[in-house]
Structure 1
Amino acid sequence: MVAKLKRIFIGRPMKSTELAEEKLTKLKALAVLSSDALSSVAYGTEQILIVLMAAGFSALWYSIPISLAVLGLLTVLVLSYRQTIYTYPTGGGAYIVAKENLGTPVGLVAGGSLLVDYILTVAVSSSAGTDAITSAFPELHDDRVLIALLMIAGLTLLNLRGITESASILALPVYLFVFAIFILIIGGTYRILTGSVPAAAPTYGLSVHGIGLFMLLKAFSSGCSALTGVEAVSNAIPNFKAPAEKNAARTLVMMGLILGAMFIGISLMAYYFGIAPDPKETVVSKIAEATFGRGFAYYAIQGVTALILFLAANTAFAAFPLLAFMLAKDKFMPHMFKVRGDRLGFSNGIIVLGIFSAILIILFEGDTENLIPLYAVGVFIPFTLSQAGMMKRWFTKKTAGWVLPFCINTLGMLTTLTITLIFIVTKFSQVWMVFLFLPAVIFIFLKINRHYQDIAQQLKLDIATEKPVVSGSVIVIPVAGITTVVSETIGYAKSLTNNVVAVYVGFDDESVEKMEQRWEEWNPGVRLIVLRSRYRSIIRPLVKFIDTVEWKRAATDHVTIMIPQFIVKKWWHHFLHNQTSLQIRAYLFARRDITIATVPYRLEK
């Protein structure tokens, strides 16, 4: 039943040789890896306006120079990550750059920040997508958490089907969104040029009381949330078709050009239309309504905006499993993240990402504004560390023409560091959890790594000198009666050794006498040890007997508890039996001095 459902929802298993077919072209990669960055134009300008509104409506003109500053930072980041792609073509982005140039601890900070950021990406994208839906249909506002959770579940299932399939599905809505935003910008520009703007824009350049450097920096840092997702291409280079690094670099440049044009266009439209932020309606929704009215064009734009914000989470679903794989390969995350699923994707990473992002949606009640500061801090920390790592690399190696890329990385590092500090200072009440969660993640990384090192040390074998030790064996078979499964277990045990005993635990004299009599009549060639239990416990007398066997056996003998167990045909049959064999196994599993084996007997009815 479960296997059939899995085939329906996930699809047929794919051969390992089909992995090359799962690589992405530039157009598909742009859809998968740029959807997060491109979708941020739906809320990037809005985050700037929310901060500026604290000084009044007339302060909204500051959004234009702030947007230009954000555009300048985008240019620096694109140039910087383009260098990273060619320098580290195996992917990994900030984690690999920081680890190799600044040391493993710094690399773990970058890697941990990126993992947290990807979880937040899914949460922010789904909650922002929900906001777009509830802007068009306000009656759904109270159901935003449920809508966001359904989005995450659908996207998790989509990615479990494989990266190529998800890319094919994503390509259309991503390019529809880009087309819709440019149509909106062109339509809005036409209305501005023809003088049919419905609202007066605040006077540009007007001095506004209450606007200071602190507020401008806060607005700039908030607007930089539009840059989240820029690093995803450099993290996922192995997902590209060959030549991977060249295709990744071109995809990054295409993403930067499209993102920059859309972001500055939305900012200009918001200013000229005099748009003020509203907690119940997005800025893009207001621009679309002012440009086209609440007709087909408006609902089409809102529809594709909601869809792209929902699908923007796919950037994280493409990058998180790959980064988790790299950390697991370095023994900082569980080995399960190295395993590819039926569809050749890192399924465990996809599932874990979906679960954690859903938890965040529930904790923050689907509030985008409260999630974005955490989201931005999570991405600007690796931005800064990646730039610093590349700076050190250029300065240390001093290859031909190193001065220009060194200057680019230095400018990027100083800018992203400044933004990170601004976020921490201005929004500490919203981002303080990062300073608890990130150290906890790094501590877990180090504990996992220590565990794997300890295991490697303990399991290390000198194949030149150490050989298997052959020793005797004592097999103890707990029995509850004389049945087919007991008979097969005894037969199997005797095929391994002649030193076999059966143990029966009785609760009263009548049952003990009956068992002894029947065993003597059956005579399977194995001695029966009968234990009496005054307190109706099977485990306690059995453990005492095992300890007795331990004293009597030779020092080199193995003690094996061989448990007869019948396997029921249907799942609900489990509830009709005591499952004593499972209880015995669970209790004895932690014992260091014995081996536990189960002999299954599968029932046919």
Structure 2
Amino acid sequence: MASSPTPPDPPSWSRRLKELLFGKPRNLQEAGLVEKLSLVALLAWVGLGADGLSSSCYGPEEAYRTLGSHTYLAIGIAALTAFTVVLIATAYSRIIEEFPHGGGGYVVASKLLGERVGVVSGCALLVDYVLTVAVSVAAACDALFSFLPPDWHGFKVASEVVIILALTVLNIRGVKESVLTLAPIFVLFLLLHVFLIVGGIALHLGQVPQVVGNLKDSFRSGLASLGGWGMVVLFFHAYSMGGGTYTGLEAVSNGLPIMREPRVRTAKRTMLYMAVSLSFTAAGLMVCYLLWGVEPLAGKTLNAVLLESFSARWSWGQALTVATLLSEGALLVVAAQTGFLDGPRVLANMAVDSWVPHRFAALSERLTTRNGILLMGAAALSALLYTHGEVRHLVVMYSINVFLTFTLSMLGMLRLWLGRRNSQGRWRKVALFAAGFSLCGSILIITVVEKFRQGGWVTLAVTGCCIGLAFLIKRHYRGMAGKLAELDRTLGTIPAGEEKVAPSLDPGKPTAAFLVASYSGLGVHTVLNALRFFPGHFRNLVFLSVAVVDSGAFKGEGELAKLRQRQEAMLAEYVALANRLGFAATSRLGVGTDVVAAAEALCLEVLREFPRTVFFAGHLIFRRERWYHRYLHNQTAFALQKRLQWQGVPVVVLPVRVY
């Protein structure tokens, strides 16, 4: 007879520290939990729109710097920038309508262009979101150190490392907590930049004739020195180098799962807020650079130079400059949220499709994709240290993958609407996505060609390695699925003998409890082997399963109910199998995000009801164990065995050899 389980120990100091940093576990039984964690349009604008709005701190600057002495072209680039923002935002609003459960680049490309193209887009997005974190934090510290003494600049990289670590912890606590914490910063940034842009333009209204005359003279001079073709090349080169301006626009369509119902309406409203705020800010800043004759200064951003010129006329001007730069730095930190919000979600989607290890689909006790968040944080730190926090280097690396994803999404939607011959508004949408594809594809090609040797090759190499690794992982999982399918065909439907009258459960008799994930050859193999090794010993069979709430299941209240129903139906099949074998049988179901912790609680509950229970679990074994098997396949059986054996509970792990 098994000994009584030892009472659980009080929480360890590490557990208490974990709860202090990340918060206490969420209660999955709480009514309206999904609704409470979702975001309304204004909060989604903060959490997802901050990336787009904050890109106005470095995108327009890069374009303006590229113009060199030909700054008169800034007016045209400002207008084209605003048009591009509106065009891409409108296109993604249509994508949101087509993919109401989340239409990020990975999903769109996979559904419309095939899974192989989808994994290219997915890997590009992953690298993009890593660089979102790195470039946002680096640009934030550039803004903050613009008004600090030069002697302090040696601490910039260290400050960036600390910020990324803090954001990692904050995001593991949960999406809504992190967004609510940072919302005031977003509002402050918006108000101060509206004041700067409106004030910067208003102060030059009396000089409009003079400004227009200067622009005409500069244009004629530039035309004489560059020629018509040279001016066109410079214009589009500078426009492409400002591609970082548009990098946050895809985030809304990818972030639908965290939005308040009705999600499509919420997402489209969020996209509208983002498009208006970004087009106004990016175009407005570029116009102000031109009007105020801003020139680059070492150790300062162009926004810092503009602010110093704009505020010099007032006694409180220095305070305005510092406050605005602080808001920029803070908002850029908020923008890094996008990498932590959407990057793990892309990982989770790819994990469900077996392109990356399945563990990236798992949720933590706080219902965040913790493994993905940790990976994003670690990779962003690596990118930051590799580039020494240089924003211009990071922006080049960043823009390439953004526009690769944009281009593939536009191409997929263009193909979709070309095929819908009788749909209302077909040609209007074809024109929209054709324009988007042409614009995004052009920016992508120019950026790769112009910046290949200045960091572009690094992005392409890293993305290529990610794609290759994804195909290797997919091949492994596909091979495993084939072997398990053979096992299912052999054992999944046996035995199908005569129906027998199953005896009643007797809690005092020896009981075998089986931990199963699905009704398959793997589970049946474990049951039959246990009965073969202990012939005639067990009188009761209990089947245990944990309905694991991962990122695929946590999309709404209805999804959680469906998950429970599926698992209950699966357990009923095992009970029926046991009855056909002549055993008394029952089942128990647990729900949780951590399968080991939920299974442990379930086992202890069964042990109180059936004190003479031996627990069984199956585990896949390989002829040649490789180091990567530990990362690609869970170690649930051994982790659970260790926990329960410490409490004096017998657990047998039976090997299942598939190849």
TM above 0.5, yes or no, is: yes
Q: The TM-score by the shorter chain falls in which range?
A: 0.7 to 0.9
2:280, 2:292 → 1: CA distance?
A: 18
Deviation at 1:459, TM superposition (A): 2.8
What amino acid maps onto 2:265 in structure 1? K
Q: Who is 2:326 aligned against?
A: 303
1:373 and 2:392 correspond: no
Counterpart selection for 1:463 from 492, 511, 519: 492
1: CA distance between counterparts of 2:255 and 2:533? 54
Q: Name which of 390, 399, 407 aligns with 2:431.
A: 407
Amino acid at match of 2:350: L
Contact kept, 8 Å, 1:28 with 1:168, in 2: the verdict is yes
User: Secondary structure, in 3 states, of the residue corresponding to 2:26?
Assistant: coil
1:471 Cα deviation after fit: 4.7
1:36 has 2:40 as partner: no
Distance 2:127 2:300 in 1: 28
* 1:392 partnered with 2:415: yes
Cα offset for 1:602?
A: 8.7
Of 331, 338, 361, which aligns to 1:315?
338
1:548-563 residue pairs with structure 2 within 5 A? none
The more displaced of 392-401 and 25-34 is 392-401
1:424 maps onto 2:448 in alignment: yes
- Provide the rounded CA distance (Å) in 2 between the counterparts of 1:111 and 1:34: 21
How far does residue 318 in structure 1 lie from its aligned partner after superposition?
1.1
Cα displacement string for residues 509-561 of structure 1 (whole angstroms, at most 9, x for unaligned residues): xxxxxxxxxxxxxxxxxxxxxxxxxxxxxxxxxxxxxxxxxxxxxxxxxxxxx
Name 2:288's counterpart in structure 1.
Answer: 269
Counterpart-to-counterpart distance in 1, 2:84 and 2:207: 33
1:449 is aligned to 474
Match of 2:198 among 183, 186, 195: 186
Count residues with an aligned counterpart: 483
For residue 215 of structure 1, report the CA deviation from its aligned partner. Answer: 2.6
Q: Structure 2: which amino acid aligns with 1:168?
A: L
2:118 aligned to which of 99, 104, 107: 107
Q: Is contact 1:324–1:337 with CA below 8 Å preserved after alignment? A: yes
Deviation at 1:277, TM superposition (A): 2.2
Distance 2:472 2:207 in 1: 64
AA aligned to 1:112 is: C
One-letter code aligned to 1:154:
A
Which residue is 1:338 aligned to?
A: 361
- Which secondary structure state, in structure 2, belongs to the residue aligned with residue 136 of structure 1? coil
- 8 A contact 1:49–1:276 mirrored in 2: no
> What is the identity, as a one-letter code, of the residue corresponding to 1:118?
Y
Is 1:125 matched with 2:154?
Answer: no
* Cα distance, 1:195 vs structure 2: 6.2
* C-alpha distance in structure 1 between counterparts of 2:220 and 2:73, whole Å: 9
Q: Aligned letter for 1:71?
A: A
Q: How many angstroms apart in 2 are the aligned matches of 1:287 and 1:144? A: 22
SS in 2 for 1:47: helix
**Are the aligned partners of 2:417 and 2:426 in contact in 1 as well (CA < 8 Å)?**
yes
**How has the CA–CA distance of structure 1 residues 444 and 269 changed in structure 2, closer, same or farther, with 3 Å as cutoff?**
same
Deviation per residue, 1:395-450 (Å, 9 max, x gap): 11232221101110000001100110000111111201233222211111111112
Distance in 1, Cα, partners of 2:418 & 2:243? 28
In 2, Cα distance between the equivalents of 1:30 and 1:100? 27
The answer to whether the 8 A contact 1:201-1:274 is kept is no
Deviation at 1:601, TM superposition (A): 6.5
Matched, 1:172 2:184: yes
Matched with 2:512 is none
Q: In the aligned structure 1, how far is the partner of 2:291 from the partner of 2:56?
A: 17
* Structure 2: runs of 5 or more not aligned: 1-12, 496-523, 539-620, 626-636, 649-659
Contact kept, 8 Å, 2:201 with 2:288, in 1: the verdict is: yes
In angstroms, what is the RMSD of aligned CA positions? 2.6
Q: Cα 1:445–1:38, aligned 2, differ >3 Å: closer, same or farther?
A: same
Q: Kindly provide the amino acid, as one letter, of the partner of residue 228 in structure 1.
A: T
Q: Secondary structure at the match of 2:433?
A: helix
| Larger CA deviation: 4-13 vs 452-461 | 452-461
Structure 1 residue 260, shift from structure 2 partner: 0.6
Q: 1-side partners of 2:403 and 2:298: how far apart?
A: 26
- Name the CA distance, whole Å, in 1 between partners of 2:80 and 2:447: 16
Work out which of the residue numbers 134, 144, 150 in structure 1 matches 2:145.
134
**CA–CA distance in structure 2, aligned partners of residues 139 and 183 of structure 1:** 31
Q: For residues 6-55 of structure 1, what are the alpha-carbon distances to aligned partners after superposition, in whole Å with 9 as ceiling and x for unaligned? A: 111111111224233110001100000010110011112210122112xx
C-alpha distance in 1 between matches for 2:78 and 2:271: 20
User: What letter corresponds to residue 381 of structure 1 in structure 2?
Assistant: L
CA distance in 2, matches of 1:267, 1:372: 18
Partners of 2:77 and 2:96 in 1: CA distance: 29
Contact 1:45 1:263 in 2 (8 A): yes
TM-superposed CA distance for 1:124, in Å, is 0.3
- Tell me which amino acid in the other structure corresponds to 1:262: T
| Aligned-partner Cα distance in 2 for 1:333–1:291 | 50
2:241 to 222, 227, 237: 222
Which of 1 and 2 has greater Rg? 1
